[in-house]
Chain A
Amino acid sequence: MDGYNEEVHCPFCESDDVTLMSLFGSAQLVRQFYCNKCKSAFEFIKWTEHSQGEEEVSKVANHRNEAGVVGSGTMGAGIAQVLAVCGYNVILFDVKEEIVSSSITGIHRRLDRLSEKNKLTVEQAELAKKRLRPVTALSEMKNCQFVIEAAPEKIEIKKEIFMELDKHCIEEAILATNTSSFSVTEIGSITKRPEKVAGLHFFNPVPLMPLVEVIKGERTSGNTMRKLTELGREIGKIPVSCSDTPGFIVNRIARPFYNEALKIRNERTASAEQIDRIMKKAGGFKMGPFELQDLIGIDINFSTTVSVHEGFYGDSRFRPNYSQQRKVQAGQLGRKSGRGFYSYES
């Protein structure tokens, strides 16, 4: 146990106000610390085999990295959680303090649940919590390596955020948008660094869904794509690259699964129940198109179709079905409203 009680200083700010968060390893002894002064996480690795030498060989993993998340709704909170668990010091922004702090409370609760389920150790969960910092000014993101915007899907809001970020963030910072319906090229063009702007499209719920689409705007550089792809892998996701096309990969190619099913039902070739049964039994899909719309929310599904249809300038392959709009107008949105294509009222 020698070398344990030595005084540890934060490698970033030299402060000795550090907390030992966790300690593990056998051939190597890894100790993870959190600096209470500059709020960095860092780790020391010590070889325990004498032949390997006595010196501490690694000062820090890249845990200094600060990442910003703009927007603390469902997607933003999910992204912040994943980044924090993977060692990033996350700056989470929202317009009002109560909004962002309630979002942080929610993330804490989910982290606790993860450690109760033994998906994380208690120390990992506590460390992740310490890595989350709520802010209400985008200027706080000035030192971030990456900023991921997950604000409401309104182009004016996004443009305003990107102009602000462009002004405040260090030159090398990469600015990514989690948009699912706007052009990454359009958002990038509002900044002076379009080569460092790209899409990073996560899927809901972010901590569970393994995919992330990395979207290359017309002016996005290869280096930005590589760095975001690496970031995706680093936070445990499977990154795929896509050019800046409406709906990117998933939202575009999945359209017929819902849209053609709606048309078949509407033409009375088969009922919703039959189509669901056929797609599961003949196709091996886990859920049928109508069950899945009820789960996602028929309104959400409809607006995705509308947005992809608009993105392709009304190409009839994506034409929404009026029967889906009627469901939305009737307030029959699926599980969340107790009724959609199926009834969930008890």
Chain B
Amino acid sequence: MKADIGTGLNRVMLTGSALLVESMKADLQQKGCHIVTEESLAGTSEKVDVVIETITQNTEEKKRVLQDIESKVEAETLILSSCISISITETASFLSHPERVIGIGLFGPWSELSFIEAAAALQTESVYKEQAAAFFEMIGKEVEWVEDEAGFVFPRILSLIINEAAYALGEGAASAEDIDMAMKKGTNYPFGPLEWADKIGIDEVYAVLRGLYQNLGEERYRPAPLLRKMVHAGWIGHKSRRGFYERG
């Protein structure tokens, strides 16, 4: 039974952030997946086994893209959606067949993610959870199943740490370099929070915070003014050459 699921899940359709899609594509091909594009799908009877959708910053766009995909794939196709800023249950509600949606928490470059947080929506049927588990195993990603909430666990906690660092920097409490040094040497963090934000993308961190703020409605999730302005200025870290630090 399991082998059937495993062998039947290698035609993957990717959509969303171009950067993430590119890095996922190469990796998934290496793991034996066949990447189906929207173009190759049009007018043929080609089947898609798994859709991975990674739009995190614009809920309207996410909704539109998911509905568009739903019109192109079969009603039973598993949909993995990167849901760091809204709940999976809300994401599933965009679809006429919400029972096949599984949320994943992608935060940081795909190549560095050997471990994925996943969660089912309230509407998800258990067979899709099994399919998703088999798919993660096939592509060599360890998975931790948590309950559905915007931001999952790691994106939520790290974004709040980064937010606090941005508040401290914005208030002139310390320099970016001293903040990063303090967190690495004073409490053993693998990276300083601000350099970490540059690496992940300040737009992604902002998306998590805004999502938590909107969904949970608590003051504690309010993005730091500095973060908000940096996103508007396009200073989003390594992707843009400028973030908390400037690059070459």
How far is it, in angstroms, between the C-alpha of A242 and the C-alpha of B186 when the chains are bound? Answer: 13
For residue B142, which residue of chain A has the nearest CB? A281
For residue B150, which residue of chain A has the nearest CB? A269
Shortest beta-carbon distance, B137 to chain A, in Å? 16
Decide: A256 near B149, CB < 8 A? Known: A241-B174, A316-B218, A316-B220.
Answer: no
Interface residues of A in 2-50 (CB under 8 A from B): none
For residue B219, which residue of chain A has the nearest CB? A316
Contact of A243 among B113, B156, B172 (CB under 8 A): B172
Decide: A317 near B219, CB < 8 A? Known: A210-B185, A249-B186, A281-B142.
Answer: yes
Interface size class of A (residues with CB under 8 A): 35 or more
Interface residues of B in 171-204 (CB under 8 A from A): 171-175, 178-179, 181-183, 185-191, 193
Q: Is the CB–CB distance between A281 and B115 below 8 Å?
A: yes
Q: Is the CB–CB distance between B219 and A278 below 8 Å?
A: no
Q: Is the CB–CB distance between B186 and A279 below 8 Å?
A: no
Is B68's CB within 8 Å of the partner chain A?
Answer: no
Q: Is the CB–CB distance between A275 and B168 below 8 Å?
A: no
Is A285's CB within 8 Å of the partner chain B?
Answer: yes
Contact of B182 among A213, A255, A284, A319 (CB under 8 A): A213
For residue A283, which residue of chain B has the nearest CB? B154
Q: Is the CB–CB distance between B164 and A253 below 8 Å?
A: yes
Residues of chain B contacted by A257 (CB below 8 angstroms): 157, 161
How far is it, in angstroms, between the C-alpha of A270 and the C-alpha of B116 when the chains are bound? Answer: 14
For residue B221, which residue of chain A has the nearest CB? A317
Contact with A along B84-119 (1 / 0, CB 8 A): 000000000000000000000001000001111100
Q: Is the CB–CB distance between B153 and A270 below 8 Å?
A: yes
For residue A317, which residue of chain B has the nearest CB? B220
Is B231's CB within 8 Å of the partner chain A?
Answer: no
Decide: A242 near B154, CB < 8 A? Known: A210-B185, A269-B146, A274-B144.
Answer: no
Contact of A255 among B164, B185, B190 (CB under 8 A): B164
How far is it, in angstroms, between the C-alpha of A211 and the C-alpha of B186 when the chains are bound? Answer: 5
Contact of A249 among B153, B163, B173, B190 (CB under 8 A): B173
Shortest beta-carbon distance, A297 to chain B, in Å? 15
For residue B114, which residue of chain A has the nearest CB? A281
Shortest beta-carbon distance, A181 to chain B, in Å? 16
Q: Is the CB–CB distance between A268 and B154 below 8 Å?
A: no
For residue B155, which residue of chain A has the nearest CB? A282
Is B73's CB within 8 Å of the partner chain A?
Answer: no
How far is it, in angstroms, between the C-alpha of A56 and the C-alpha of B73 when the chains are bound? Answer: 87
Q: Is the CB–CB distance between B181 and A238 below 8 Å?
A: yes
**Closest A-B pairs by Cβ, 7 of them:** A256-B160, A240-B178, A250-B186, A211-B186, A284-B190, A211-B185, A249-B182
* 13 further A-B pairs in the complex, CB-CB below 8 A; given A240-B178, A250-B183: A213-B186, A242-B174, A243-B173, A250-B187, A257-B161, A269-B146, A274-B153, A278-B153, A281-B114, A286-B190, A289-B157, A317-B220, A319-B220
- Chain B residues near A (Cβ < 8 Å): 107, 113-117, 142, 144, 146-149, 153-154, 156-158, 160-161, 163-165, 167-168, 171-175, 178-179, 181-183, 185-191, 193, 218-220
Between A and B, 23 residue pairs with Cβ closer than 8 Å are A210-B185, A213-B186, A238-B181, A240-B179, A241-B175, A242-B178, A243-B172, A252-B168, A253-B161, A253-B168, A253-B183, A260-B156, A264-B149, A264-B153, A269-B146, A269-B149, A278-B153, A281-B115, A281-B144, A285-B189, A315-B220, A317-B160, A319-B220
- Chain A residues near B (Cβ < 8 Å): 203, 209-211, 213, 238, 240-243, 245, 248-250, 252-257, 260-261, 264, 267-270, 274-275, 277-279, 281-287, 289, 315-317, 319
